[in-house]
Amino acid sequence: MNGFRKEFSTLTLVLIPVAIAINIAVGQVATRVTWLYLDSIGTVLVGVLVGPWAGAVTGFLANIVWTAAGLWTPAFAFAGVAAVIGALAGVFGKAGWVKEWPKAALAGLITGLVAAVVSAPIAAYVFGGVTGAGTDAVVAAFRAAGLDVLGANVAQGVASDPIDKIATYLIVWAVLKGLPERFKVRFSED
């Protein structure tokens, strides 16, 4: 728990709701410009800037807020997945992967695959294999091909989550590149 306490300065605490608001704002814009979700930009940002614990808290609470704000009620069921995404961002951030775009893209790929695997059982067993989104057509296609409920959800996740997370990491890489160094060091625990 030492890492947790170290990561939680007032500055970090104040950053997290801002990151959640960024998740929401960019997520809404993304649906109008592209088919990607791009709803974890803030989560990944906090993970990379501060650390795994802060990233996990951001992801978890972002999904709670998403439900509480009435944007998509089922969001809270995936809070754990979002926490994993945030924690991974912290790990990749500490490893320095987000400093160059090829590694950042790889970080996104790995995060996407992990997210797909972790969220598939929730979609399959809590929601009967659907999420009420357009991606259900993809799930249907996989079911038609003979996969069972869990398999079809894993397949759909693997088909769409990595692209979304690669794009997210690339955007975070680009944004951080342009950020003055003095801002970045204020947030990290060192």
Partner 1 sequence: MQGSTLYLERESGLHRLHPLTKLAFAGVFLLAAVSMPGIVSLLSVYTILLLSLGAWGKLLVPLLRNSFLVIWPFVLSLALIQGFFNPGETTLFSLGSFTFSQEGLMSGLTVAARLLLALSGTLLMMLSTRPDKLMLALRERGLPNWLGYIVLTALQIFPRFQDRARVILDAQKSRGLEIEVNMVRRLRLLVPLIAPLVLSSIVDVEERAMALEARAFNYPAPKSSLIELHDNAVQRAMRFLLVILMLALIVFRLQEIFSV
* 21 touches partner 1 by CB under 8 A: yes
Give the shortest CB-68-to-partner 1 separation in angstroms: 6
150 is a contact residue toward partner 1 (CB under 8 A): no
Three state DSSP letters for 60-125: HHHHHHHHHCCCCHHHHHHHHHHHHHHHHHHHHHHCCHHHCHHHHHHHHHHHHHHHHHHHHHHHHH
Torsion angle of alpha carbons 171, 172, 178, 180, nearest 10°? 170
Output 130 or 158, the one with its CB closest to partner 1. 130
Cβ at position 117, least distance to partner 1 in Å: 21
170 binds partner 1 (CB under 8 A): yes
**By CB under 8 A, residue 175 contacts partner 1:** yes
Q: Which residue among 50, 79, 154, 171 contacts partner 1 (CB under 8 A)? A: 171
Residues that bind partner 1 (rule: CB under 8 A) add up to a total of 59
Q: How far is Cα 51 from Cα 31, in angstroms, rounded to an integer?
A: 28
Question: Residue 9 is encoded by which pair of tokens?
Answer: 């300065």
Quote the least distance from Cβ 95 to partner 1, whole Å.
22
Cα–Cα distance, 51 to 163 (Å, whole number): 23
* String of contacts with partner 1 for each residue 98-137, x by CB under 8 A: -----------------------------xxxxxxx--x-
- Give min distance, CB of 158 to partner 1, in A: 18
The answer to whether the beta carbons of residues 20 and 150 sit under 8 Å apart is: no
